[in-house]
Amino acid sequence: MLRRKSGLGKALSRTTPLTIFILLFMFGLSIGSNESILSNIHKDGLKAGAIALLGVAGSVVATSLCARFINRKGGAK
Amino acid sequence: MNHLLFPLMVFAGIFVGWCGFAPDFVAEYSLPQLCLYALIIQVGLGLGMRPDLKSIVKNINPRLLLLPACTIVGTLAFTYIATMIFTDDSSSDVMAIGSGFGYYTLSSVLIAQFKEASVGAEAAASVAAIALLANVVREMIALLSCQFLSKRGRGVAAISVAGINSMDVCLPMIVGAGKSSDAQLVSAALFHGIILEISVPVLISIFCS
């Protein structure tokens, strides 16, 4: 029912990114005002990059193993 | 456009905080928490209001569940390797960081909130900062590789790499490659994103408890 009230949808498409902006800005504030985080950023950055790369690699490996199964099992398109 | 502005907001916040202008109410966590609730309500409303919700639901079959399952199992299995590399950190923290699936906004905030009670605000913010960086990097990798994978007939892998972003930021790149099975790929990508969106808070709360 809500789907037909496009006014709310329009409002949401504006307020959702705005909420994320405010949230992220406040998150940045808490990092920036914390010296112990800032002094570790080079070490943490390396860790973050490694975790991200491993996550992506894991996704590719898992879907490659299951791709035939995912694509075929349903039969008709 | 927006996905460039989001990391920019974080850097703006870091700069302002670094300059020493952080007001006290930010540290109290009540305002960030209210903001988070507001965001979750809006995300839920937005999902329910999608005009194509019916056709997405119609296309859903048990087979589609395999794709988000692959993303979750694959990501967590390889993140477990990271826990063996970074032995200084608690392995549950590293697993929580890995289970953001590129959802850097929600995962970092959730980790900060969940860990604050047990290890204090400072240690929690430090883990959350790594989570933010790791998931921003994952989104960047996804933005750069989705089209490449999809054009080579690896649309399923593209969806998985995109993680949570398969339903928004990366969707045009996954389905824009001009393959015949585009319609099915849209359903798969949206369903994948929705399931991961639900699994992020669940997995993070498990690893943070």
In this structure, are A29 and A3 located in the same domain?
yes
Å from A40 to nearest chain B CA?
9
How far is residue A17's CA from residue A8's CA, in Å, rounded to a whole number? 14
Does A27 lie in the same domain as A6?
yes
| A51 and A75 co-located in one domain | yes
Nearest to B15 among A22, A32, A44 (CB): A32
User: What distance in Å separates residue A42's CA from the closest CA in chain B?
Assistant: 11
Q: How many separate domains does chain A show?
A: 2
DSSP B38-65: HHHHHHHHHHHT-TTHHHHHHH--HHHH
Residue B95 to residue A73: CA distance in whole angstroms: 31
Q: Are B53 and B69 in contact (CB under 8 A)?
A: no
| pLDDT tens sequence across B110-169 | 998 899 888 888 888 889 889 988 998 898 888 888 888 888 888 899 999 999 988 877
pLDDT at B99: 94
Chain B residue closest in CA terms to A60:
B157
Q: Per-residue pLDDT for chain B (209 aa), expressed as one digit of tens each? A: 556 777 788 788 888 988 887 776 666 666 777 887 887 788 778 767 777 777 767 777 888 889 999 999 999 999 999 999 998 889 999 999 999 999 887 898 899 889 988 888 888 888 988 998 899 889 888 888 888 888 888 889 999 999 998 887 787 778 765 554 566 787 888 889 989 999 999 999 999 98
Average pLDDT score, chain B: 83
pLDDT, greater one: B88 or A30: B88
Amino acid at B64: L
pLDDT score at B108: 87
Q: By the CB < 8 Å criterion, does B66 face chain A? A: yes
Locate B182 and state its tokens. Answer: 């585009």
A50 and A67 both lie in a single domain: yes
According to the model, what pLDDT value does residue A74 have?
A: 43
Domain that holds residue A69: 40-77
Task: Measure CA A16 to chain center.
Answer: 15
Q: Give me the interface pTM, i.e. the ipTM.
A: 0.77
Q: What are the extents of the domains in chain B? A: 52-208
Q: How far apart are CA B162 and CA B170, in angstroms?
A: 6
Q: State whether A46 and A76 are in the same domain.
A: yes
| HEC per residue, B117-167 | HHHCHHHHHHHHHHHHHHHHHHHHHHHHHHHHHHHCCCHHHHHHHHHHHHH
Same-domain pairing of A30 and A60: no
Clarify whether residues A25 and A44 are in a common domain. no
The residue among B191, B162, B187 whose CA lies nearest residue B103 is B162
Q: In this predicted model, which residue has the larger pLDDT, A25 or A2? A: A25
Residue range A1-29: average pLDDT?
75
Domain check: are A24 and A49 in the same one?
no
* Per-residue model confidence (pLDDT) at position B26: 64
